Amino acid sequence: MSKFYEVRKRDGAARIGILSLPGGKRQTPLLLRIDSLSAGNEEIKVIHAEDSFFEELFKEDRWTVPRGAVLLPEVHPLFTKLKEAIPSLWVDFFVLSFASGMLNSPRDFVRRIINARNAIPPDVAFWVPAIVTVENAAILFYMGVDIIDDTNAVIKGYQGIYLLEEGEARLNELEDLPCNCSICSSLSIDKLMGKDAKERALLIAKHNTLLLDKEVKKIKERIRAGNLREYVEMRVRSSAFLTAVLRILDTEEEYFERRTPVARNQCMKANTMESLQRIEVKRFANRVLERYEPSAREILLILPCSAKKPYSTSPSHAKFVEAVENYRGYIHELILTSPLGVVPRELEMVYPAAFYDIPVTGYWDAEEREWVSSCLRAYLERNLRNYELIVAHLSGAYKEICRSVTKDFGIEVVFTCENNEEATSKEALNRLKRQIAELCDERKRLSGFEMKANMIKAMADYQFGIGAGTGIIAGKEGERIRITGKFPYYKLSSNGNVLARVVPAYGLLALTVKGARKIENLLSLYRMEIGDFVPEGSILAPGVINASEQIRVNDEVVFCGEKAFGVGRAKMSGWEMMESRRGVAVQVREVVARGL
């Protein structure tokens, strides 16, 4: 637990935080500068930052308990003993010992950081010393490191190694200096080579540090924007070691699931093979299976995805809908897509279904096919009994996937696109229209209310668990339930009081206090207990008495305490609320005082 470190913004395991120190406040991700070191043998003599950062830090009289930098349980048994002896021990950051050992193998790299991060409290900063390069900085922060230093960059300078964004080069391998930093833009490579060894080393070290500094700034902006993952996928590409690190990291599902927001107001760019392994993709696929119940319809219509999101707003989906519109009351629509697998029409607004972008070439690689096939198979295994037959309006790879998956199920499948025919072609659309008309007894359009209610119900189930949707939509006798607003800005109300709103910017359903009260007993997974106060604006971590483990960043939560009941959006995970002493836990949207 920390007195001096506060996490302000999270993007997966990566964080932006404020470290309060006697010398002033520092923002993480933080790059510490080393001041002097003995060149040649790579042994660091003195390490301290600007403004006497460390001198201040290590002045024992400033602290009421023994302080030390290296107190990591896995390497330092003193940590547990100290914690037992002094329960009030405050620690603001941890330093990973023998970090260079991580470089032995990608697996060690992953294990060392994840084990350490899991062992120390979430509101404590984590420093991995002396191994950072420009190339690996992004993945270190992505894994949950908060502080790095330029030791390695400086040592490399003394070794005549010039850091590049995508690796490094020996100075004598370069013909030019591919950089615009203050050092490189003021010197030609010949001039640099002409300097004496010591000055040359200093200049290369300076360039290395400046480039690292620039990289840290870029990473900070990525965390702030919520798209560090895309940057990491780009960054690791230059190194087989780091690509292996990312692939191994992606098997650490629990670590990232506990730290990844449920929703973002950002497009998820799935441009690499690793994008398929993102926790957002796996979480969506799991929730479609665990938190979604299709409405009872006879026909399952499987459609291809569209580049424009939400799908309904795309020209291709406008055509599909027009073809089946008169019979939509018989039809349940399911969209087949990579990398999300299957997206029920009612969930097209949720994150990341309305927030992803993939390169479209018509070619699907084996892994993509296998993953999407497995999603469709799992969906059908769970829901097939709902349907009498499947109409697949699919071509190309989509059609092949659907054909190979459905052949094992013994259900009739009608394909409405001929081979080599686009799903949006006139012929295919006419065939779809004719087939649907033949299959359905009479016209049955969905009313505006039904369409909107299906979406709100599915979104509520997806967010809060099955049952929440029916709970919020159902009206008691004499209760007038209405849904107003144009797609997708729907607003659900009861007797004129708003219960919930769709928030398209995040793909979430936001509850009002009235809405939360209506389904209070169905919100156990997203419930928090707070102290004896009426919050305004935000609830800080120390004010949280209890929080469901399931809560993630940007989840809609309900909080109650002796004096207040309200709704808001989580700014940290439930487990983090319990383990932190600083930081905003929830942004309050609406609160009512109790017992007044």
Sites of contact with Zn ion (CB under 5 A): 179, 181, 184, 207
How far apart are the C-alpha atoms of 174 and 14, rounded to whole Å? 34
Smallest gap from Cβ 163 to Zn ion, in A, equals 9
Sign of CA dihedral 133, 138, 139, 140: positive
Beta pairing class for 147-149 and 30-32: parallel
214 vs 369 by CB, closer to Zn ion: 214
Of the pair 162, 462, the CB lying nearest Zn ion is at: 162
Contact between 100 and 56 (Cβ < 8 Å): no
Q: What single DSSP character describes residue 447?
A: P
The set of long-range contacts for 481-489, using a CB threshold of 8 Å and a minimum separation of 24, is 482/449, 483/449, 483/452, 483/453, 483/456, 487/312, 487/452, 488/310, 488/349, 488/455
When the beta carbons of 150 and 346 are compared against Zn ion, the nearer one is 150
Helix H or strand E segment including 17: strand 14-21
> Distance between CA atoms of 163 and 160, rounded to whole angstroms?
10
Cα separation, 342 vs 333, in Å, equals: 10
CB-based burial, 357-388: b 16+ in 10 Å, e otherwise: ebeeeeebeeebeebbbebbbbbbeebeeebe
> Which residues are bridge partners to 539 per DSSP?
586
Query: What's the min distance (Å) between Cβ of 182 and Zn ion?
Result: 8
Cβ nearer to Zn ion, comparing 179 with 558 = 179
Q: Closest approach of Cβ 211 to Zn ion, in Å? A: 6
Q: Which two tokens mark 305?
A: 């995805």
Output the six-digit token pair for 251. Answer: 């098997």
Query: For residue 392, what are the contacts with CB-CB under 8 A and spacing of at least 6?
Result: 301, 302, 399, 402, 403, 406, 413, 414, 415, 416
User: What is the rounded distance in angstroms from the CA atom of residue 365 to the CA atom of residue 367?
Assistant: 6
Residue 571's nearest CA partner among 122, 176, 55 is 122
Q: CB-wise, 163 or 530, nearer to Zn ion?
A: 163
Element (H, E) at 93: strand 93-95
Q: 3-class DSSP state for residue 72? A: coil
Query: Rounded to 5, what percent of the chain is helix, strand, coil?
Result: 40, 20, 35
- Tell me the β-bridge partners of 94: 126
Residue 162 Cβ, how far from Zn ion at the closest point, in Å?
Answer: 8
Beta carbon nearer to Zn ion, 212 or 522: 212
CB of 171 to Zn ion, least distance (A): 12
Q: Decide the pairing of beta strands 497-503 and 491-494.
A: antiparallel
Distance CA 375, CA 124 (A): 39
Minimum CB separation of residue 179 from Zn ion in Å reads 3
| Cα dihedral sign, 115-116-120-125 | negative
| Beta strands across the sheet bearing 564-570 | 538-540, 584-593, 564-570, 556-560, 527-530, 544-547
Query: Cα angle vertex 500, ends 496, 505, to 5°?
Result: 130
Cβ proximity to Zn ion: between 179 and 263 the closer is 179
Furthest-apart CA pair in the chain: how many Å?
Answer: 90
Kindly tell me which of 181 and 384 has the beta carbon lying closer to Zn ion: 181
We find the least distance from the C-beta atom of residue 134 to Zn ion, in angstroms, to be 11
* Residues 430/409, Cβ–Cβ less than 8 Å: no
Identify which of residues 206 and 278 has a Cβ nearer to Zn ion in the complex: 206
Dist CA 289 CA 292 (whole Å): 6
